[in-house]
Every structure is written in structure tokens, then in C-alpha cells.
Structure 1
């Protein structure tokens, strides 16, 4: 009887601990990513530059490229890709926040080079995903790329990130519970294929964060959060799409970003969106757990928490399905008119009081 298997794309190495960056050179050599340290280290002007100096202690032949401008944009990524042609690098190492990581990831993909992700913040699952979110012509667009060949998370640097960024990372991780529920709903209602392994990966990390009692700056909690992002990124690589990590929660976030830019972070938006979607699906047990976790980590739960009126939030949720045409979530399933949707949102707010 033949054994049927599949190859799963995942990082070759994942390390999360204090002092990880100081051992970057050894890790790249041990995993045969770069024996001699011939890598391009891409950083922003902030904390990533300091981390890069520490990494160079074990990467004497590395070339540091500072993204003075253009980080997080398609143009910046393409300019970086052009710079990478100047030398025969073994790999690209991105050190910094999400915008630096995504810029390095997409530039490496354009050049067919492996990319090592070294995030100094855990604001979202882009640290290990096969997607790069880049601004182009005033819009944030997700571009396909290779999943990082290694993910190195130094807790000494992550702890220095603003607490709001860490909380946003919690919101992004927890939203996977809503996204996977939407995917299963789509399978039931429309027959859309689902991938059980991708769902299991996305949920495992999110549930660990959901039920972890630690505070945002506790090493054990940060390790769980980092693992959740790695598992979420791997889930997307397994699925070949963002479905295990993006449902109504992200539709709502994209609508909020278009209609009310800068009022909240992406992680805050998807957290509130996931909570509302869970309420609309009638999953009372998960709703209670998620609401408690968002409160514990000081994440927004209601329109008022986001700095919006109920009417503003209702308008964004009503528009949300237009941000991802073809995606089927609880919003498309219910297809509520604006007045009914507003009434359900009022019930949602009352439930949280």
C-alpha cells in the first residue's frame, strides 16, 4: 500500500530566546545557510541597526544595508532587490520591525535568495509568513513570497518594543481563531476546500496565547506569542493562501484602515473584528474567552475602544466584504442590511458591558 505524503514548507530553524542575535552567525553556519557569513543584513534606522552591530560579531563578512526610506513600500523593496545584485550573497537577513522584515522578504524573493527573519517586535505574523505587506499607490497590498528559511527572535530586543505593539501582536494571533472558523463556515456553506493541517497549526498557536495567564512582557508569554506567529505563518504556507489567518476579522480591519486610517493598529483592528465575528457566529464559549483575553492585554473590544462611534463602526463592517471579493465569512453568510447590522453591533456592545 503506497504511503501518501506531502512536503510542508516551513522554516529550517526557529529560535526564540534572550541573546539569540549574538549567535546568529553560528546558526547560519550550522544550518548550512551561510558558512562564511556572506549575507546582506537589512535594517531600519532604529533598534534594528543596534541589533545588526551585535549580529556582525559573528558575521564579519556581512554587508549592512540601512533602509533610510522606502521601508514597507513596494518601491523600497524593488530598490533593495536591485542592491542585492551587487554581490553574491548567501542569504538576506532582515532585522527590525514588520516593515523592514516585509521589505527584506520581498526583495529576497525577487532575487531568488533565502531570507532570515529577525524581528525586533511581534506585532503581527508577518515574521514567518509567505506574504509581504507593502504599500503601493496608497494601498497596502499582500505580495506572495517565500517563507523565511529561518526565524530568530531575540527576547532582549522584543521586550524593548512598545507595549502597544506587543498587544497588537496578541490581537493578530487571536484573530486566527476567528479566521479558521470562517474558513470552516465557507467549507460548510459553499464547499470551499479546507486544509486540516493548516487549521490545526493556526489554532494551536492562537489557543496557547488565548489561555496563557502571563503578562505581555513575561518571557514565557512572549515565547508563546512568537510561536503563535511562526505557526500562523507556516499555516499560510501549508494552505497556499492567507485563509487560516484572515477572515471577517481582516475584512473589518481593511475597511477600518480605508475609512479611518491611523485610529488604531492592525492588531487592534483584527482583534475587535475577530471578537465581533465570533459574536455573530454565536460561539458563546469562544466569545467569552476571547473577550477576557483582549481585556487582559488592554486590547480594544468595542467601537468606542477603537475611537469610533457605533455608526462609524457599522459602516466599516458593512463595507468590509468589499475588501476581499470572493472570500466567504460570517459577514457574507449573514448578509445583514445596515440597520440589522447596527442592531447586532449594539447587542454586541451590550454583551461586553
Structure 2
């Protein structure tokens, strides 16, 4: 009998709305998550303590673990601390670093992970990847998807606005990443998963086209849903391809070449995506993306994040080395330094910067 469908790894609960945190105990009591109430909850030492005070009475069976930072060592220590607890599940309550540490630790001890995000800085909150700093710089580690995702829009609004801006740039970059994937399919015959590509692209397009701003619940809802869908698209594809192309190569190059000066993940990805769209000849789409970035307060040029044009040329020239084997518009064009410089000058003029 032919296979008529396929199973898609996805959370059993996704709760994105204002006030969602008030119902967290009910979500965690789901028999698929924790029948006994024995939970290991990872938090930061700062804002995490305030959340613990707010939630501890409703979660009497929980043990709370403060995570030092976003390093591999922190994640390993968290896993070791949880080993003897006989927990049903791990809860990562915080920003990206806390959730990534909790993801890795949960995978290490074989427990499901519930992601409770307190900011929307990037698309990793529901992805099958934990990004952690290590002795060599930064590594990406494969982990299971979260079994549940909870995002309280009231909490999101309390976070510094730079986190939301970063998430916007990361979501918009999906559009360029999928275009790179399609390019690799046309030129090299690389397999492309149409469902994963559609999910990632529509997540980015929804953010691009939404008329709201950073203080608008409707916009935050679309952004949060888009970031969750992007994470699921990576699980569907079995790879980060739906959300990572030239945009992320440029981001990684900024981080590696200028680790002390690099901007936020989403700022660099958004700039990289708008420039990559220009490189591929999608000039109207590039201008539209640059306009959306500017409207939400994100940078459109390298100079706006403190880099000269020559430094940006250096970044773009180095970018393909950050992901050997990945084919994007950068590898396709293989521009010289002078070619990159000319293309960047054209992009800046087109973007009206």
C-alpha cells in the first residue's frame, strides 16, 4: 500500500496570546507532558527569579534550576543536575540562551522539552537545534523539537524592544533563505521539501506584509507564530535550509570576523537577506524588505550597525566559508571583492539609504 501521508514532528501544544503564562500550569498538567507534576524548570538568574516567584505556587512539584549562560558547559551542568530527579519533562523559561540550554539538557537526559519564551529574538525557540557557545566559538547541536511552546505576548512586550526587532529580521530572512534553496535545487539538483519551504516563506511573508508595529498585539502574534512555524519547517526538512541561506552566512561571517562588534542575530540576518535579494536580481523584493526593516527600526546598511563598506565587503567575501557545502546566491555568483563593493553600492542606492 502506498504511503499516503507523512508524520510531521511538531509540538502537541502551541499557546501564543496575551495572558498565556497564567495558564502555564494547565498546559504542563497535560498527560502527554507531565502527569505527576514533577518538572525541571530552567531559568536565568535575573528575570527568571521574578518569574519563579510568580509561578512557583501553581507548580508545587517543580524543581527550579538557574542557568549561568548559553554555553555548552552550562547545558551539560544542567543535565547533570537534573539526572537524579525523576522528572516528567524539562521547561525552558526565558530567552534563547535559556531555551537552548534546556533543549540540550532535555535531550541529554531523554526528557521532553517545553519552551516558554520571554522574548522573540530568533526562530530557534521551536527548532530542532540548540545553539551553544563552546571552546571553538559556537556550535549547533541537533535536539528534538519542543513538545509544547508557550508565548505570553504580555511578557514579550516587557522585554527590551531590540529582541523583537531581532526576531523580525530573522523571520524576514526566510524569504531569501528559501530563494537560495530553490536556486540550489535548480542549479545543483539539491532536494527541496516543498512543505518546509512553504511554511518558512509564508512565515516571512506574513511578517513582511503585516501593517502593524512593535506595540501591536496583532503584529506580535504574527511574528511569534512565524518564528514557531519556521522552527517546525526545519524539523520537516530535517535541516536548517528553510531558514538559512546567504543571509545566515553573512550573519555568521560578522560574528566570526568581528566578534566584539557584531550586532544582533536578526539585525545581521535581515541586512544579509535584503542584500542577497538584491544580488539575485529581485530588486523590488529587496527594496520592499529594506523598507520593512527600516519601518521596524532595523538596520538596512552596514554603516547603520557600525561597519564600513569595505568591512561589509570583507564579510560577504568570507561568508561562504561559514557553511561549506551550502549553495546560495553568494556561491552562485562568486563575486570578487570589487564585484561585491559595486553590488553593495547599488543596493544602498536602491534602498534609499
Bin of the TM-score, shorter chain as denominator length: over 0.9
Aligned-pair CA distance for 1:5: 1.5
1:133 aligned residue: 131
Question: Pick from 142, 152, 155: which aligns with 1:154?
Answer: 152
Query: What is the CA deviation profile of residues 25-50 of structure 1, one whole-angstrom value per residue up to 9, with x for unaligned ones?
Result: 11122353112321001000122222
Secondary structure at 1:63's aligned position in 2?
Answer: strand
Query: What is the CA deviation profile of residues 304-351 of structure 1, one whole-angstrom value per residue up to 9, with x for unaligned ones?
Result: 112111000000100000000000000000001111111111111111
2:308 aligned residue: 309
- What is the RMSD of the two structures over their aligned residues, measured on CA atoms? 1.2
| 2:248 paired with 1:250 | yes
1:205 aligned residue: 203
Distance 1:217 1:37 in 2: 35
Aligned-pair CA distance for 1:22: 2.0
Distance 1:140 1:286 in 2: 32
Query: What is the CA deviation profile of residues 211-266 of structure 1, one whole-angstrom value per residue up to 9, with x for unaligned ones?
Result: 11111121111111110110000000000000000000000000011112233111
Contiguous gaps of at least 5 residues in structure 2: none
Distance 1:32 1:3 in 2: 27
Q: 1:3 to 1:324 in 2, by over 3 A?
A: closer
**Contact 1:48-1:120 within 8 A present in 2 as well:** no
Secondary structure at 1:328's aligned position in 2?
Answer: coil
Aligned-pair CA distance for 1:289: 1.8
Query: What is the CA deviation profile of residues 59-97 of structure 1, one whole-angstrom value per residue up to 9, with x for unaligned ones?
Result: 111001111x2x210111011111111210000001111
2:332 aligned residue: 333
2:270 aligned residue: 271
Query: Within 5 Å, which residues of 2 pair with 1:1-353?
Result: 2-67=2-67, 69=68, 71-261=69-259, 262-353=261-352
Secondary structure at 1:152's aligned position in 2?
Answer: strand
Secondary structure at 1:140's aligned position in 2?
Answer: strand
Query: What is the CA deviation profile of residues 169-197 of structure 1, one whole-angstrom value per residue up to 9, with x for unaligned ones?
Result: 10000000000000000000100000000
**Contact 1:22-1:57 within 8 A present in 2 as well:** no
Worse overlay, 280-289 or 233-242? 280-289
Aligned-pair CA distance for 1:138: 4.5
**Contact 1:21-1:152 within 8 A present in 2 as well:** yes
TM (normalized to structure 1)?
0.97
Distance 2:52 2:236 in 1: 31
TM (normalized to structure 2)?
0.97
Distance 1:117 1:168 in 2: 19
Distance 2:324 2:297 in 1: 32
Contiguous gaps of at least 5 residues in structure 1: none
**Contact 1:47-1:120 within 8 A present in 2 as well:** no
Distance 2:185 2:130 in 1: 27
**Contact 1:253-1:273 within 8 A present in 2 as well:** yes
Worse overlay, 179-188 or 339-348? 339-348
Distance 1:114 1:217 in 2: 33
Worse overlay, 39-48 or 25-34? 25-34
Distance 1:3 1:102 in 2: 34
